Structure 1
Amino acid sequence: MAVRRASHAGSWYSDSAKELNNQLENWLGAADLTHGPARAIIAPHAGYQYCGACAAFAYRQISPFVVQRIFILGPSHNVRLSGCALSSAVKYRTPFYDLQIDSEVYEELESTGKFERMSLKVDEDEHSMEMQLPYIAKVMQDYKDKFTIVPVMVGSLSTDKEALYGQIFSKYLADPTNLFVISSDFCHWGQRFRYTFYERSWGEIHRCIETLDHKGMEIIETLKPAAFVEYLKTYSNTICGRHPISVLLQAASHLQKSSSNQQNMILKFLKYAQSSQCYNMSDSSVSYASASLIFE
């Protein structure tokens, strides 16, 4: 049975369990628990030197003793995918310990006919889910034998498919023992990303990027999928996890319309950062944001 290597360890984050543990402890220690217990989080997936401190604000909101299953929805960066794909592995390796994939939920998802299987190579080449694994392993370390993971690679979905997958995942989002981790960076700005939107009235370029991202974050907080789609159409912001975010918004929207759901859902962004500040058109940066969704 295949085990997925920690293929980005040693480059995107430390492959030393001791060093990695110290880093994550420091970042988590600097983040406050202000919006938990999280039923879903949005967290960045760049190299930890860039986004590790920001990601901690999302992971700090998790109550590990409640969580029995963690869905990880990450965008596909390397292969064209029009739907969603499941791993071919049974375990995901981390520098701390292996994370077990939930075979029962995988069977349920596969039975819908809406999921394909990705090869181990495609899985290991992709970083969007892997960059969540060390944080998951760290936060859940006291319960490491009491939870499973459900990794899902999300392709370039149409609005209709976002709604379809949102409906499929809504019943899992309704379960308080489940946690959803939505893997996404925010604006990728610069000529190397082929995105140089600049509204001069918003200030310096980095201020413009921040305003642009915050407009999107505020719309995501409304939990209205159509408003987020409209925002993306208007600004074409290069949010790489826009499809996983949209699936979460659709799942929440489906739950809100369900007569059986009497709970209020509140999504809140807790931290924002940029890899660097852009002042000239030759500069580039990637933005990061962390959020938590709670049920009241």
Structure 2
Amino acid sequence: MREPVVAGQFYPSNPKELKKEIRKCFKGIEVSSHDLIGAVAPHAGYSFSGHVAAHVYARIPSADTYIIIGPNHTGYGSPISASADTWSTPLGEIRTDGDLIKALAGSIIDVDELAHRFEHSIEVQLPFLQYTLDHDFEILPICMGLQDEETASEVGHEIVRAVKDAGKKVVIIASSDFTHYQSADIAYDTDQYIIEAIEKMDVSEIYRRIMEKNASACGFGPIAAMITAAKLLDATKAKLLTYSTSGDVIGDMSSVVGYGAITVE
């Protein structure tokens, strides 16, 4: 069992308070399922980025499995790691998709629980899924320590191969924040420049712009892997739904983190 590690820090550990917090995140957002294949959602504390993430989850469709790809902030575990554990949150337990785990055997994606043990980027997405969805579902958590373009492309291709082998309907969520600890003006300009390439679904251009700006978006590999897979699953368009920074919450614009909600259909 993968127990929650940031409950009580990034989001409430009490189920009633957690539901209340998530409900607040959805305030003012129309909930209407869309035919999403992929998405980008932030992974900061809910008080900072929950409202941005809610824009994605307000549009999340029913699927068999939600593949959540996050960056490895801790450095533990294999470079590309899937989890086969059942995951626990204050809202209950979620099984991982054993069929997809089996289909990934022998690929670049190892099964390694250590990479996930203390990593928050996937965990914070799960209560949103549990709150939003009214059907049984499974997850496939994938943690990326290596985020270069070649690796991200291979991860995307392997996901699609496994999905087609298993015959599953999936939604692929890339967990990422954008610029870290720059002024709000710099963060906005840098992030919009990168998001423009994401909206074009141009993986090579995303990497070129990140290198050009020396950008500090933490999940560019998961974003690239998601886009690679989504295109192979016939996605044709990506759209920024909303963008904000931590400065919009606390009022300090001198050093912010950027958050974007992006859908891929």
- TM-score, normalised to structure 2, is 0.90
Q: Does structure 2 conserve the Cα–Cα contact (< 8 Å) formed by 1:42 and 1:290?
A: yes
Give how far 1:88 is off: 5.0
- 2:217 match: 239
Look up the equivalent residue of 2:230 and give its one-letter code.
A
Alpha-carbon deviations, 1:80-119, whole Å to 9, x = none? Answer: 6674102252x1001111000111211111233x222334
- 1:135 match: 128
Counterparts of 1:158 and 1:170 in 2: how far apart (Å)? 19
Give how far 1:185 is off: 0.3
Q: Does 1:164 align with 2:154?
A: yes
- Structure 1, unmatched stretches of 5+, are 191-204, 256-260
Matched pairs, number:
260
Give how far 1:249 is off: 2.2
- DSSP-derived class of the 1:10 partner: coil
Look up the equivalent residue of 2:172 and give its one-letter code.
F
Counterparts of 2:113 and 2:184 in 1: how far apart (Å)? 39
- 1:87 match: 83
Q: Greater CA radius of gyration, 1 or 2? A: 1
Give how far 1:166 is off: 1.7
Counterparts of 2:26 and 2:92 in 1: how far apart (Å)? 19
Q: What's the Cα RMSD here?
A: 2.2
Give how far 1:35 is off: 8.1
Q: Does structure 2 conserve the Cα–Cα contact (< 8 Å) formed by 1:225 and 1:250?
A: yes
- DSSP-derived class of the 1:288 partner: strand
2:95 to 78, 100, 120: 100
Counterparts of 2:246 and 2:196 in 1: how far apart (Å)? 21
Q: Does 1:77 align with 2:73?
A: yes
Counterparts of 1:129 and 1:284 in 2: how far apart (Å)? 25
In the TM superposition, 1:1-296 aligns within 5 A as 3-33=1-31, 36-63=34-61, 66-79=62-75, 83-87=79-83, 89=85, 91-112=86-107, 114-120=108-114, 122-140=115-133, 142-143=134-135, 146-171=136-161, 177-190=169-182, 205-253=183-231, 255=232, 263=234, 265-276=236-247, 283-294=254-265
Alpha-carbon deviations, 1:247-296, whole Å to 9, x = none? Answer: 1222234x2xxxxx7x55211110111111665xxx421111111111xx
Q: Does structure 1 conserve the Cα–Cα contact (< 8 Å) formed by 2:31 and 2:59?
A: yes
Counterparts of 1:23 and 1:77 in 2: how far apart (Å)? 25
Identity of aligned residues (%): 25
Change (3 A) 1:293 1:71: same
Alpha-carbon deviations, 1:112-147, whole Å to 9, x = none? Answer: 3x2223344x4221100011111011112x21xx21
- DSSP-derived class of the 2:89 partner: coil
Change (3 A) 1:278 1:11: closer
Give how far 1:176 is off: 7.6
